[in-house]
Structure 1
Amino acid sequence: MSGRRSSAGDAITLYRDDLPDGLDLGRSVAVDTETMGLNPYRDRLCLVQLSSGDGTAHLVQLVPGRPGGAPADCPNLKRLLSDPSVLKIMHFARFDVAVLQRTLGITVAPTVCTKIAARLVRTFTDRHGLAALCRDLLGVEISKQQQSSDWGAPELTPEQLAYAASDVLHLHALWERLEALLVREDRRELAQACYDFLPARTRLDLLGYEDPDIFSHRA
């Protein structure tokens, strides 16, 4: 494991294969992932982004080097993501939790998801993507230009690193706004029930129960 400051800016630190020993990101950490595609059964996890909400981002690049292309063991990253005392703040947690659980063999909890929160309280719009929420609720513009780039490349570009960091740098502020809306609309408890169910929902997805949906009345 090695760490280096990114040329994309001093607020971004890139590590290879694991977080450093002793890094404390506090009791809540924003988490996102970059993969080779959007199929959690097929596509390799390439990068895990984390932020404690202090304006800095810690990026862990998982480089395949073991049989079957598995990443390094990354015990510090696993410990953080499975720590029941650390809240993980995500956007579209259903995908990220599935990829992390499949790749790292851990249960990622507890979590909250800003996309779920937005869908519960912003029923007047279908704009629930991260860029739209940051613009509408925080007045922050983030670029999605690098979203479909090659995240499996051995060396990531400064543009890729800046994009990856932007996906976690604003999640604490975004969750604060959305949680207040959940409370206002009396849906905070319902949201929490959804978040508590996420590890089971993603296990069902990984077992192939996304379609058919076992909760559907359809035969």
Structure 2
Amino acid sequence: MTVYLHEGDLPDDLDLGPVVAVDSETMGLRFRRDELCVVQLSSGDGNAHVVRMRRPAYDCPNLKRVLSDPKVLKIFHFGRFDIGMFELHLGVETRPVYCTKIASKLARTYTDRHGLKDVVREMAGVDLSKAQQSSDWGSETLTQAQLDYAASDVLHLHVVMERLNIMLAREGRAELAAACFDFLPIRSRLDLAGWDEVDIFAHA
């Protein structure tokens, strides 16, 4: 595994292929209080590219191009948050997308454990460390431990997606999952518009 650190944007000549795993690190979990600090990506080749964002300009045309490219499928785990952060700070709608957390909830109905650590352990046989989850991602210098943590969040998503797709097809829920993924950027936009704690589909 190699972790490549990029300052501000992806390199001009980097081609990550048609399916890219994506995650982000922020200063917290509130959209308008906490800033986007790091975006990490993997093409599924065992390597990861970690982009340390230039704040507050967020001048990253190559990254934005990947996120908005209709020919590149972006794999997330709980993409709802990342997609919202990208729209808020980068000004792009991320499509098309796949969310392994949604897929897990639709396919792995025998458990209530749908966090990344649990899903990767079962689907990919890898035990992830979450020691750096709450570290200072806004720091001017990222530690090797932070880089390794960021990479681990995207390195296994291709395998996880493949195995969840098998389960979704087996259970007859692949079409339902696809519809959920298609709606996910709209769900993120609802979060940004103030409906993050409201289920607009509920009767009450």
Common topology (TM > 0.5): yes
Deviations 1:182-209 (A, max 9, x none): 0000000000000000111111110001
User: Counterpart of 1:13 in 2: which secondary structure?
Assistant: strand
Residue 39 (structure 1) shift: 1.3
Counterpart amino acid of residue 118 in structure 2: A
Which residue matches 1:213? 199
Q: Which runs of 4+ in 1 moved over 3 A?
A: none
Instruction: Find the aligned partners of 1:156 and 1:211 in 2 and give their Cα distance.
Output: 33
Are residues 1:120 and 2:106 paired? yes
TM norm structure 1:
0.91
Q: Which residue number corresponds to residue 78 of structure 2?
A: 92
The question of whether the paired residues in 1 share the 8 Å contact of 2:27 and 2:137 is answered with yes
Equivalent position of 1:11 in the other structure? 2
Please provide the CA RMSD for this pair.
Answer: 1.0
Amino acid aligned to 1:26:
G
User: Contact 2:58–2:90 at 8 Å: present in 1 too?
Assistant: no
- Paired amino acid for 1:112: Y
Contact 2:40 2:151 in 1 (8 A): yes
User: After the TM superposition, which residues 159-174 of structure 1 pair with which residues of structure 2 at under 5 Å, given as runs?
Assistant: 159-174=145-160
SS in structure 1 of the partner of residue 194 of structure 2: coil
The TM-score, its normalising length taken from structure 2, stands at 0.97
Instruction: Give deviations 1:2-42, integer Å, cap 9, x for gaps.
Output: xxxxxxxx610000110110210000000000000011232
Residue deviations 1:52-84 (CA, integer Å, cap 9, x gap): 0000000100132xxxxx233100000010000
2:141 is matched with 155
Q: What is the match of residue 7 of structure 1?
A: none
Give the Å deviation of 1:211. 2.9
Return the offset for 1:133: 1.0
SS at match of 1:142: coil
The count of corresponding residues between Structure 1 and Structure 2 is 204
Partners of 1:41 and 1:92 lie apart in 2 by 18
How does 1:47-86 map onto structure 2 within 5 Å?
47-64=38-55, 70-86=56-72
Unaligned ranges ≥5, structure 1: 1-9, 65-69
Residue identity matched to 1:195: F
Q: Give the stretch that moved more between structures: 18-27 or 207-216.
A: 207-216
Structure 2: gaps (5+ residues): none
Q: How much identity, in percent, do the aligned residues show?
A: 60
Partner SS for 1:208? helix
Q: Read off the aligned partner of 1:117 and give its amino acid letter.
A: A
1:194 is paired with a residue whose SS is helix
User: Could you tell me which residue of structure 2 aligns to residue 180 of structure 1?
Assistant: 166
